[in-house]
Amino acid sequence: MIDALTGTVSFGSWSLGPASDEAAFAAATANHPQRKQHSIGVYTHHTLRGVTLANTIFNASFTFNASRIESISLWLPSASTSWDDWSEANEQQRKRDHDDWLTATLGTGPYDYNWGVVSSNYSPQSGDSAITVRYR
């Protein structure tokens, strides 16, 4: 669930909000079986596959800037296993599925709040789509 009032994103037994720090996130997700992490300068990116949000399974990426949460990207798992299976039509459908999920969860957009912005985007440059929660 994404709480429109507070910006808290709840993943079952753990959650993140605008003031969440990386140490708390790392402790809450330490035992996740499909967790990856990499850092670039002050940014650390964590990826978790198969997280549940509002009864829907997503893959998720969490970006921390100097240990403070900056953004969460969510995407529905794809049947594509390689670029050979990828098609723009399928990716555009995934974006529409993200849009439908946001509408069912948060109502009709825009989703611009005092704590941040929630958006659904398709990037022709990277060939993917995702829901992004960006904190201010």
pLDDT at residue 32, rounded to an integer: 87
Residues in CB range of 110: below 8 A, 6 or more apart: none
- pLDDT tens-digit profile of 18-76? 999 999 999 999 888 888 999 999 999 999 999 999 999 999 999 999 999 999 999 99
Contact 98, 131 (CB under 8 A): yes
pLDDT at residue 45, rounded to an integer: 96
pTM higher than 0.85: yes
- pLDDT tens-digit profile of 102-123? 999 999 999 999 999 999 999 9
Q: Does 82 score more than 90 pLDDT? A: no
pLDDT at residue 31, rounded to an integer: 87
Give the strands of the sheet with 56-65, arranged side by side. 35-40, 43-53, 56-65, 68-75, 128-135, 116-123, 111-112
Share of the chain above pLDDT 90, in %: 80
